[in-house]
């Protein structure tokens, strides 16, 4: 549950190793791209700083050997080298097509800090990667991580599938691995690449501690390389990167002027409970009579592609018109309730045995249980409920919940081991393979085991929730320093519930006495799955909106979004509206153009 471009996963068996690598490659491809939000644009700075090429090259190549000073004394620069302007090729991957981007003359810097020996003699450090453009726009760009991290990142600041990366726009870019290295800290005997969860400091660095250290170090690198501090500092991330943005806003509010925290994993440990819950709920649909568990290779059979299409059609029949236009988008998603959807699902109920073209009563009940979210025996919510997701028929939704014939659901392959290794105390070792992961989730007792995400002991003095949870509604310090926060989130996200994000925003607004919109705005994306994809207008410029808000005081009431080529309506435009407003058709004009819609309650 936890993404950059590649993943090097060593596991106990060859089959599991190959599957884990394939899954994490997909996630890193999706999250690296989506963490910087599809379709971003750039607001030009007041001026840029450049140096003659020869001088810049000499300055870069000599930078590592200079007597540099850092407030964190453990910082060590590993290398600095001048990179002449040229292309960088990103190969095709399951998350999207390959592309070539043009990078400018820049200085590439690698460094480490906090080098140490951890549990079982494993060597740990926080690795960071920076690219410093010769023509610097005096802005700092921290590129968020994702998933379980463990990769130092490319530090180019990708800002969309067809736009120049942030580096090419003059930003100095930093990425980091959050304190563990998938190449050296993977241990097949301790849940493979999630072995860092058995080291207390590595777990805390993953959650939050590495973030301030690397942000502070990055700014000090800039000050010593360019001779001045950045004028503005920005953070952009999605998923785990969104959690990192929330950490900065809540715990280290002095670090960034503006933050995009998309699809924020700020409730990661609780969301991991929801993953186990869903594995149990959907596993019941494929369980053999009398069995205590289920065959994980059959989980994808819980719903066929046709079944998911029936569910989507039921949701659209119930809720599509509520925003004023029947267009395949449920814009007024908060009104899409059980009272509307369940009758439509029951209208598609099989009259006899389950067959294609109808839904079984067990399937309808499973959808309702999944939507309600994990609960204990007394009915108390352990995470959040979910909306009725119109993107439920999209592969990006199924990827997490029930998987495919040749790929086990990520709720199992990543969710189980992240819950066992990183979010619970004490951590648990699972046997190799997807079946063992599913068995762990199937045996999870929500009355007995859920409290372990809040537990501490003599070794782990911080709980998984303290380390990774970042759901505080107290943004008062961030507000006082003039920070600005934009939170895009898809309503068909299968990993983190949009309802949880909206509930958090209402809490923030209550603390701010109804003035939260002056410094934080949530932009729901109807139909969008986790960070990207789905039947949605998922290409939008949240970063451009953030820069305009921070540097020019232009608060965004809406962000224009476009549907990508993989959507049902390539090129369709819609405004994304700041919650609680939604996009409503005005009744006139081209319904494929954003100008024909207005944001209102």
pLDDT, one tens digit per residue, over 30-76 is 433 333 333 333 333 334 455 566 888 999 999 998 989 999 999 99
CA dist., res. 150 & res. 48, Å (int): 33
HSE of 362 in the Cβ direction (CA atoms, 13 Å)? Answer: 13
**Residue 422 DSSP label:** I
For helices 210-226 and 240-251, what crossing angle results, to 10°? 80
Residue 192, classed as helix, strand or coil, is strand
**Residue 249 DSSP label:** H
**Buried b / exposed e along 364-375 (16+ C-beta atoms within 10 A):** bebbebbbbbbb
Instruction: Write down the pLDDT at residue 140.
Output: 98
CA dist., res. 563 & res. 74, Å (int): 46
HSE of 300 in the Cβ direction (CA atoms, 13 Å)? Answer: 13
Counted residue by residue, the chain has a size of 601
CA dist., res. 588 & res. 594, Å (int): 12
Return the beta strands (E) in 272-385 as ranges.
none
For strand 99-103 and strand 86-90, is the pairing parallel, antiparallel, or unpaired? antiparallel
Distances (CA, A) of 323 to 317, 577, 585: 13, 13, 7
* Residue 251 in tokens: 């715990």
CA dist., res. 523 & res. 507, Å (int): 16
Distances (CA, A) of 164 to 3, 136, 232: 21, 15, 20
| 8 A C-beta contact, residue 389 and residue 308 | no
User: Given 178, 210, 233, 239, which residue is catalytic?
Assistant: 239
Instruction: Let me know if 509 is a catalytic residue.
Output: no
User: Given 493, 500, 509, 541, which residue is catalytic?
Assistant: 493
**Buried b / exposed e along 310-331 (16+ C-beta atoms within 10 A):** bbbbbbbbbbbebbbbebbbbb
CA dist., res. 426 & res. 451, Å (int): 11
Q: SS3 for 203-244, per residue?
A: HHHHHHHHHHHHHHHHHHHHHHHHCCCCCEEEEEEECHHHHH
* Residue 570 in tokens: 């390539």
Q: What is the CA radius of gyration of the chain?
A: 23
| Phi/psi-derived region of residue 454, left when phi > 0, alpha when psi is between -120 and 50, beta in every other case | alpha
Instruction: Write down the pLDDT at residue 54.
Output: 82
Instruction: Write down the pLDDT at residue 90.
Output: 78
CA dist., res. 131 & res. 140, Å (int): 10
| CB-neighbour burial class of residue 167 (10 A; exposed 0-12, middle 13-18, buried 19+) | buried
CA dist., res. 144 & res. 241, Å (int): 4
Instruction: Let me know if 493 is a catalytic residue.
Output: yes
HSE of 593 in the Cβ direction (CA atoms, 13 Å)? Answer: 7
| Residue whose pair of structure tokens reads 């290779």 in the numeric block | 297
| 8 A C-beta contact, residue 475 and residue 485 | yes
| Phi/psi-derived region of residue 110, left when phi > 0, alpha when psi is between -120 and 50, beta in every other case | beta
Instruction: Write down the pLDDT at residue 16.
Output: 32
CA dist., res. 369 & res. 593, Å (int): 37
Instruction: Write down the pLDDT at residue 443.
Output: 97
What residues form DSSP beta bridges with 381?
Answer: 375
Instruction: Write down the pLDDT at residue 161.
Output: 63
Residues of the chain with pLDDT under 70: 1-53, 92-97, 160-162
Instruction: Let me know if 557 is a catalytic residue.
Output: no
* Nearest residue to 540 (alpha-carbon basis) of 560, 568, 518: 560
């Amino acid at each position: 549950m936890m993404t950059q471009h590649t993943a090097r996963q060593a596991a106990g068996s060859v089959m599991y190793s190959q599957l884990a690598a394939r899954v994490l490659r997909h996630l890193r491809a999706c999250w690296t791209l989506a963490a910087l939000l599809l379709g971003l644009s750039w607001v030009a700075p007041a001026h840029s700083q450049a140096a003659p090429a020869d001088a810049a090259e000499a300055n870069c190549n000599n930078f590592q050997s200079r007597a540099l000073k850092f407030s964190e004394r453990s910082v060590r620069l590993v290398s600095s080298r001048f990179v002449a302007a040229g292309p960088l090729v990103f190969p095709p991957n399951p998350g999207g097509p390959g592309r070539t981007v043009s990078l400018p003359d820049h200085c590439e810097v690698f460094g480490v800090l906090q080098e140490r020996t951890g549990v079982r003699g494993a060597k740990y450090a926080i690795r960071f990667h920076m690219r410093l453009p010769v023509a610097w726009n005096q802005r700092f760009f921290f590129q968020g991580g994702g998933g379980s991290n463990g990769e130092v990142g490319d530090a180019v600041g990708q800002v969309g599938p067809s736009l120049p990366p942030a580096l090419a726009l003059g930003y100095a870019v930093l990425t980091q691995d959050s304190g563990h290295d998938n190449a050296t800290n993977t241990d097949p005997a301790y849940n493979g690449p999630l072995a860092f969860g058995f080291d207390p400091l590595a777990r805390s660095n993953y959650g939050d501690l590495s973030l301030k250290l690397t942000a502070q170090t990055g700014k000090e690198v800039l000050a010593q390389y360019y001779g001045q501090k950045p004028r503005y500092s920005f953070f952009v991330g999605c998923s785990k990167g969104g959690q990192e943005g929330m950490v900065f806003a809540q715990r280290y509010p002095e670090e960034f002027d503006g933050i995009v925290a998309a699809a924020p994993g700020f409730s990661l440990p609780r969301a991991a409970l929801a993953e186990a819950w869903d594995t149990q709920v959907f596993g019941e649909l494929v369980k053999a009579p009398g069995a205590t568990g289920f065959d994980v290779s059959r989980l994808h059979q819980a719903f066929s592609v046709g079944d998911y299409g029936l569910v989507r059609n039921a949701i659209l029949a119930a809720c599509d018109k509520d925003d004023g236009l029947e267009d395949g988008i449920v814009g007024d998603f908060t009104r899409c309730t059980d009272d509307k959807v369940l009758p439509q699902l029951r209208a598609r109920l099989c009259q006899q045995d389950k067959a294609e073209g109808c839904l079984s009563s067990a399937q309808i009940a499973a959808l309702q249980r999944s939507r309600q979210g994990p609960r204990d025996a007394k009915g108390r919510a352990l995470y959040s409920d979910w909306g009725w997701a119109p993107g439920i028929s999209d592969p990006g939704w199924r990827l997490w919940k029930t998987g495919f014939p040749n790929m086990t659901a990520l709720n199992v392959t990543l969710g189980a081991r992240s819950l066992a290794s990183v979010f619970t105390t004490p951590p648990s070792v699972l046997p190799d393979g997807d079946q063992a992961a599913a068995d762990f989730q199937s045996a999870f007792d929500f009355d007995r085991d859920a409290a372990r995400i809040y537990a501490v002991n003599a070794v782990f003095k911080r709980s998984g929730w303290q380390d990774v949870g970042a759901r505080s509604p107290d943004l008062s310090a961030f507000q006082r320093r003039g920070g600005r926060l934009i939170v895009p989130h898809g309503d068909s996200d299968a990993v983190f519930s949009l309802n949880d994000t909206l509930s958090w925003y209402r809490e923030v607004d209550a603390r701010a006495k109804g003035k939260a919109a002056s410094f934080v705005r949530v932009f729901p994306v109807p139909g969008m799955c986790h960070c990207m994809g789905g039947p949605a207008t998922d290409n939008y410029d949240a970063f451009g909106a953030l820069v305009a808000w921070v540097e020019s005081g232009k608060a965004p009431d809406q962000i224009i979004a476009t549907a990508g080529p993989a959507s049902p309506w390539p090129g369709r435009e819609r405004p994304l509206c700041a919650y609680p407003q939604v996009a409503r058709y005005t009744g006139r004009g081209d319904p494929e153009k954003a100008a024909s819609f207005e944001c209102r309650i």
